[in-house]
């Protein structure tokens, strides 16, 4: 989604060349012309309909680097998304999007967005419905992103994510902004309403965001974000302070009839967790189009991680037991370490050709495991693209990225007729 803004300053328009004799427009003032253009851009007579279609075939082969075990798989992806965008006037808009994926069972078809935009006297702006809530600024990781039900996938950080049902209120204050989110997802009483206020301050090329997440029951959190730029670099950072955790933890204890494995699952509702991240994005393109480079790097300190993540590796049977009894869920085991890094470098249209290369890396610095994925792509047309990737995982067996040991893979993907419409 995008919001188009029109500004007539700095645009050199010869009115006589465009419209004929000047007398025809002499009575149209600048404000009236700007208003007419804005109305045209922000309204449409009908309903815009579009979407995306994806069809890929991806065979892959994997080898365990320790014992040379080999397996192969074939992944076929067929999915689509459809949206409608209705703007009957400049003060009202309704947007909706749904997606579905083969085999199109109930759990593979969903409404990802459905909301309306409206305002009060062009001073207070509202968005009500199902939409993404942006409290953080991180790319691969975002400790402040604690409201949306779908977390960021570091391997595909720009993938569409779902948000909760909420009402967003926005009050612009010059170049600054105040936001208030009222989250009503999965509540039965008004007392269960969650609030997320946020203030964004613009100081030169520095933007500071301060926000909070307030719940009737469960963890409360506060966060601060920073974004700025310098030349071709964009720099971002955020910190989050949470009172309590929305996950459960495994703790070692004495062996007893109640805890025969010497483990227990606990909640940490009274503890304070500090998380933070810092990253950058560099983009540059030469005049000839030979070098279109994008480099992104990010570090995260994850306060919810274990001080010694080996507790999960050394007690894998106990963890599996708790999972089978639903005392733990897979989300409780995500990011077991405290120190993480991720980076990617993209070289699009290699030397102004149809080839592109990408190198992605993410690692858990706490246990020394990670993943490296170099990819070479060939785009023959807008509807036909080939990609060859060689994912490699490293680290000791049982660590986060190497539960079965280090792996070497080869993946070949063909995209047929995929694109937007």
**Over the stretch 167-180, which tens digit does the pLDDT of each residue have?**
999 999 999 999 99
Interatomic CA distance for residues 421 and 168, integer angstroms: 29
**Over the stretch 107-141, which tens digit does the pLDDT of each residue have?**
889 999 999 999 999 999 999 999 999 899 999 99
Q: What is the mean pLDDT of residues 235-250?
A: 96
Please, which residues bridge with residue 57 across strands? 76, 414
What is the predicted pLDDT for the residue at 216?
82
Q: Write out the E strands in 253-310.
A: 263-267, 272-285, 292-301
Can you give the length of the chain in residues?
421
What is the predicted pLDDT for the residue at 31?
52
For 310, residues 6+ apart whose C-beta sits below 8 A from its C-beta are 367
What is the predicted pLDDT for the residue at 346?
97
Q: Write out the E strands in 65-159.
A: 70-89, 92-101, 109-120, 124-130
- Is residue 41 pLDDT above 60, yes or no? no
Q: What is the mean pLDDT of residues 367-383?
A: 94
Please, which residues bridge with residue 399 across strands? 402
Q: What mean pLDDT, rounded, does the chain reach?
A: 89
- The candidate with the shortest Cα–Cα distance to 386, out of 375, 373, 374, is 375
Residue 55 · residue 418 · CB < 8 Å: yes
Interatomic CA distance for residues 347 and 357, integer angstroms: 5
Q: Which residues of 383-396 are buried (b: 16+ CB within 10 A; e: fewer)?
A: eebebebebebbbe
CATH T-level assignment (fold) for domain 43-420: Porin (2.40.160)
331 three-class SS: helix
Interatomic CA distance for residues 400 and 350, integer angstroms: 34
Helix (H) or strand (E) holding 342: strand 339-348
What is the predicted pLDDT for the residue at 383?
86
17-26, 257-266, 374-383: least confident range = 17-26
Residue 145 · residue 162 · CB < 8 Å: no
**pTM for this entry:** 0.85
176 exposure class (CB count in 10 Å sphere: 0-12, 13-18, 19+): middle
Q: Interior CA angle at 127 toward 121 and 128, to 5°?
A: 120
Query: What is the sign of the dihedral through the CA atoms of 106, 109, 111 and 112?
Result: positive
Q: What percent of the chain has pLDDT over 70?
A: 89
64-73, 104-113, 388-397: least confident range = 64-73
What is the predicted pLDDT for the residue at 35?
52
What is the predicted pLDDT for the residue at 217?
83
Higher pLDDT pick, 336 / 37: 336
- Is residue 199 pLDDT above 50, yes or no? yes
State the distance between the two ends of the chain, measured CA to CA, in whole angstroms.
14
Higher pLDDT pick, 380 / 342: 342
What is the predicted pLDDT for the residue at 4?
37
Residue 165 · residue 187 · CB < 8 Å: no
What is the predicted pLDDT for the residue at 36?
53
Confidence band, pLDDT 50/70/90 cuts, at residue 403: very high
- Is residue 376 pLDDT above 80, yes or no? yes
Where do the structural domains in the chain lie, given as residue ranges?
43-420
279 exposure class (CB count in 10 Å sphere: 0-12, 13-18, 19+): buried
């Amino acid at each position: 989604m995008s919001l188009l803004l029109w500004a007539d300053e700095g645009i050199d328009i010869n009115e006589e060349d465009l419209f004929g004799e000047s007398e025809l427009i002499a009575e149209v003032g600048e404000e009236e012309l700007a208003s007419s253009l804005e109305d045209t851009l922000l309204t449409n007579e009908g309903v815009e309909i579009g979407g995306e279609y994806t069809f890929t075939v991806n065979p892959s082969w994997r080898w365990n680097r320790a014992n040379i075990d080999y397996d192969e798989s074939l992944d076929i992806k067929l999915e689509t998304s459809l949206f409608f965008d209705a703007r009957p006037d400049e003060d009202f808009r309704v947007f909706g999007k749904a997606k579905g994926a083969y085999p199109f069972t109930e759990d593979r078809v969903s409404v990802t967005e459905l909301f309306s935009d409206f305002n009060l006297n062009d001073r207070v702006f509202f968005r009500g419905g199902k939409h993404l809530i942006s409290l953080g600024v991180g790319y691969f990781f975002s400790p402040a992103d604690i409201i949306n039900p779908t977390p960021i996938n570091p391997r595909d950080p720009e993938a569409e994510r779902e948000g909760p049902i909420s009402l967003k209120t926005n009050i612009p204050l010059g170049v600054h902004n105040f936001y208030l989110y009222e989250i009503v997802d999965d509540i039965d009483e008004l007392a269960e309403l969650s609030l997320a206020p946020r203030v964004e301050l613009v100081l030169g090329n520095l933007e500071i965001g301060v926000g909070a997440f307030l719940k009737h029951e469960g963890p409360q959190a506060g966060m601060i974000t920073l974004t700025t730029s310098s030349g071709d670099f964009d720099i971002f950072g955020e910190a989050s302070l949470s009172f309590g955790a929305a996950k459960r933890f495994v703790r070692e204890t004495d062996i007893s009839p109640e805890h025969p494995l010497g483990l227990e699952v606990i909640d940490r509702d009274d503890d304070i967790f500090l998380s933070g991240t810092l990253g950058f994005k560099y983009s540059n393109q030469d005049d000839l189009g030979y070098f279109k480079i994008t480099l992104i790097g990010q570090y995260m300190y994850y306060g919810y991680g274990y001080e010694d993540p080996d507790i999960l590796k050394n007690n894998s049977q106990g963890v599996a037991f708790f999972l089978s009894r639903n005392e733990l869920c897979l989300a409780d085991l995500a990011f077991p370490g405290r120190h993480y890094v991720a980076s990617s470098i993209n070289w699009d249209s290699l030397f102004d050709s149809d080839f592109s290369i990408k190198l992605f890396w993410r690692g858990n610095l706490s246990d020394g495991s990670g993943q490296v994925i170099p990819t070479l792509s060939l785009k023959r047309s807008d509807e036909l693209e080939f990609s060859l990737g060689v994912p490699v995982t490293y680290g000791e067996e049982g660590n986060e990225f190497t539960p079965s040991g280090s792996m070497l893979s080869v993946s070949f993907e063909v995209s047929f007729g995929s694109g937007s419409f």
